[in-house]
Structure 1
Amino acid sequence: MTRPDSAPMRPGEELPLDRLREALRGRLPGDLEALSAEQFPGGFSNLTYLLRAGEQEYVLRRAPLGPVAKGAHDMAREYHLLERIHPVLPVAPRPEVLIEDPEVLGTPFYLMERRRGEVVRSSLPAAFAANADAPRQLSEALVDTLSDLHAVDIDAAGLRAIGRPEGFNTRQVQGWAGRWRRARELLQDSGDLPPPHDLHDEDVIAWLEAHTPAESAHTLVHNDFKLDNLMFDPADPSRVVALLDWEMTTVGDPLVDLGLTLTYWTMPEQPGGASNRIGAAGADQGYLSREAFIARYAQRTGRTVTPQSVTWYEVLGHFKLAVIVLQIFARYRAGQTNDPRFAPLAGQAEWLIREAWSRIQALEGAGPS
């Protein structure tokens, strides 16, 4: 299902194949005596592996190593979500087996089908390089998949109960503000972040609280919808073959998804590395601009969305990403993980907060809509 760039497992993150083989015996097809594993190197959250059992291939997902926040990285919840979502949204992968016994890997985990396709990160894959129309096709497929996600009938699919949609936006601000403050407190004597009066993180929180809108609708919310969580048909960049990473999915305001997607789409740097986001290249390279992205989403969904009205959701998107990367950095600083990819994340959190504050200032300077 997932990213094609698997590699040998990172030191300390190896899978115990003997225990895994016994736990899976009789529970899924394939030659378990020939079981092998590689690790997908992308991502900063759950650990993801490619398993081969003879001719059969599966993707294994488990929580990261070390202490995790209560309620986070719930593999059983993600598995049961996919059980309900896959039949009504086929781009969601089919889950295969859930193992909740912590004696196997030290934490619950699940397996799902493997899908094959191209993952687009900071540049076009070679499969699309000769297609001059690929940037537009990828952009439109991204918007259309988000629209399809938000069109799922949550009541018919039995999905309304996975979240509490009423008051969703207020709880988003409160919850992420609390996480930010706890992570900042862990780092208060480290010097890794500027003080609040310089960074304006508390000003961002206060603005989000003061301007929280009522929910525009109640739909599925993926909560990490971005270009490199999609897989595309190598022969057709307009066709999405998989939507990945459902761990934070809930029910709430769909514009929260749109705001986070636009945060990724327009960001010249991505958390954890200084590589240009492909969408930030803009219309001059054939990708949809922010304004065209919003217009297509509005047309596809029938929702009233304008570049100015979605700014609150983009500020929230920047803030959420800042919280996530700072939490990961705090784990790295505490020695709970030694993954070198996490070393620059405090700087990325700072950049995201400053960008959120600059968008607030630009909006306030623009006057009433």
Structure 2
Amino acid sequence: MVILPSQSSVVQSVPSALHPIGHELPQDWSALRAHLNQHGFDLDVSEAPRQFSGGFGNLNYLVMMNGREWVLRRPPPGNIPPGANDMLREFTILKNLWKAFPLAPKAIHFCADTAILGAPFLIMEYRRGLVIGGSLPEFRPVTEEERAMLGRRIVDLLADLHSVDAESVGLSNLGRPEGMLSRMVEGWEKRANLAYGADTPKGITRTAHWLRNRIPIQQPTCLLHSDFKLDNIILDPVSLEPRALIDWDMGTRGDPMVDLATLLSYWSQAGDPEAMQKLAQMPTAQAGFPTRSNVLEIYARRTGADLSSFKFYRVLAMFKLTVVFMQLHAKYRRGEVANEKYEAFGPLSIGLLDFTEAIASGALH
């Protein structure tokens, strides 16, 4: 580990992950306080809870309840794609998973009544730490040696999750593992068509056809995170060791290769096409981080996984990522969001689709 002048100074200099005061999307805190009082919780509303920044999905707020900090989590406003932003699913996972997987925050309350905040919500444990997105932090140097360590630790964390016995944490009935690969192909093609209609790129149909004709026999079922990437891992700002794995609203049970391929769909590296560089989800193209091939080797050594059909999963994950950005761009086209960043998701999704077809053809990997 890099030697730092003062561990406390590093911790204190971690940038705020909260929106500036006055820039939050407000909630009905009085209604929430009344609701929570009925369940034995005392919400402090002497100051308005602060909203966490970052991301394009669920809304997260730092709340003070019973003298302790917690996170309130709810879906964003507007139309919600099928199966996304599922607070009940996330609560079901997090109310017990922490017992066998300590990096999962403990969830303590779920409310399905949309009359309170306009959407279902949950309250879960808050873990302080550092979140790294598309670039490395400026306040703290990260050496090549640390990047290599962090890359390996990410893969180890995924292997640790996949080793959890779902039955031991009351999740043996989570999801529908049987036939999930076929459903994913059909479901993501349908989402693309719903997002763009007659403007749906022809590559969507071609890729769905490629996948439909190559669905492998599923590997043994395990717990899946379904959006496993670096910015969903909260890190110790000094050691860079993981403190929490968050964002479980799409968690399920199924084929572990789906999680591994999802991770690699965000894992850029030197020589990638422009779309992968603009994606900027993880800083893994920088020197020191393992390559995607290295990641597969690390995971296979840890788990003994059969990677002979991995190309299918790689194309499927890139196909899904393409459609996710199509959906975000469609929100902008429909006027549901005014953030100009969403306008760029149109050409980005086309670039990702081109990359997906290149992987399918064998031209790239």
Normalised-by-shorter TM-score class: 0.7 to 0.9
CA RMSD, Structure 1 to Structure 2 (Å) = 2.6
Name the CA shift for 1:4/1:275 in 2 (closer, same or farther; >3 Å): same
Equivalent residues of 1:35, 1:51 under 8 A apart: no
Which one-letter code corresponds to 1:34 in the other structure?
A: S
Q: Which among 264, 267, 280 is matched to residue 285 of structure 2? A: 280
Kindly state the Cα deviation for residue 337 of structure 1 after the two structures are TM-superposed.
2.6
Which one-letter code corresponds to 2:263 in the other structure?
A: T
Equivalent residue, structure 2, for 1:327 = 327
Q: Do residues 305 (structure 1) and 317 (structure 2) align?
A: no
Equivalent residue, structure 1, for 2:11 = none
CA distance in 2, matches of 1:272, 1:93: 31
CA distance in 1, matches of 2:137, 2:55: 18
Name the CA shift for 1:152/1:288 in 2 (closer, same or farther; >3 Å): same
Name the CA shift for 1:141/1:99 in 2 (closer, same or farther; >3 Å): same
Equivalent residues of 2:43, 2:63 under 8 A apart: no
Kindly state the Cα deviation for residue 35 of structure 1 after the two structures are TM-superposed.
4.6
Equivalent residues of 1:32, 1:53 under 8 A apart: yes
TM-score w.r.t. structure 1 length?
0.86
Name the CA shift for 1:90/1:4 in 2 (closer, same or farther; >3 Å): farther
Equivalent residue, structure 1, for 2:264 = 262
Which one-letter code corresponds to 1:301 in the other structure?
A: T
Kindly state the Cα deviation for residue 70 of structure 1 after the two structures are TM-superposed.
4.2
Report which stretch shifted further, 25-34 or 174-183.
Answer: 25-34
CA distance in 2, matches of 1:319, 1:273: 17
Name the SS of the counterpart of 1:98 in structure 2: strand
CA distance in 2, matches of 1:206, 1:246: 30
CA distance in 2, matches of 1:228, 1:109: 21
Structure 1 gap ranges (5+): none
Q: Do residues 212 (structure 1) and 215 (structure 2) align?
A: yes
Q: Which among 233, 237, 262 is matched to residue 230 of structure 1? A: 233
Name the SS of the counterpart of 1:231 in structure 2: strand
Q: Deviations over 1:287-311 (max 9, x none)?
A: 11112111110011121226xx422
Equivalent residues of 1:273, 1:344 under 8 A apart: no
Superposed, 1:89-100 pairs within 5 Å as 89-100=101-112
CA distance in 2, matches of 1:172, 1:35: 44
Q: Percent identity?
A: 34
Equivalent residues of 1:163, 1:250 under 8 A apart: yes
Name the SS of the counterpart of 2:96 in structure 1: helix
Q: Do residues 50 (structure 1) and 55 (structure 2) align?
A: no
Kindly state the Cα deviation for residue 342 of structure 1 after the two structures are TM-superposed.
1.7
Which one-letter code corresponds to 1:262 in the other structure?
A: L
Equivalent residues of 1:204, 1:357 under 8 A apart: yes
Which one-letter code corresponds to 2:344 in the other structure?
A: P
CA distance in 2, matches of 1:11, 1:129: 30
Q: Do residues 121 (structure 1) and 121 (structure 2) align?
A: no
Kindly state the Cα deviation for residue 275 of structure 1 after the two structures are TM-superposed.
3.8
Equivalent residue, structure 2, for 1:203 = 206
CA distance in 1, matches of 2:191, 2:147: 36
Q: Do residues 351 (structure 1) and 342 (structure 2) align?
A: no
Q: Deviations over 1:25-84 (max 9, x none)?
A: 264655624252122221111111222348521111111101223443221221111113
Structure 2 gap ranges (5+): 1-14
Report which stretch shifted further, 123-132 or 167-176.
Answer: 123-132
Kindly state the Cα deviation for residue 272 of structure 1 after the two structures are TM-superposed.
11
Which one-letter code corresponds to 2:283 in the other structure?
A: I
Q: Deviations over 1:222-265 (max 9, x none)?
A: 1100111111112212x210001101111111001111101101
Name the CA shift for 1:27/1:129 in 2 (closer, same or farther; >3 Å): farther
CA distance in 2, matches of 1:334, 1:164: 32
Name the SS of the counterpart of 1:124 in structure 2: coil
Name the SS of the counterpart of 2:354 in structure 1: helix
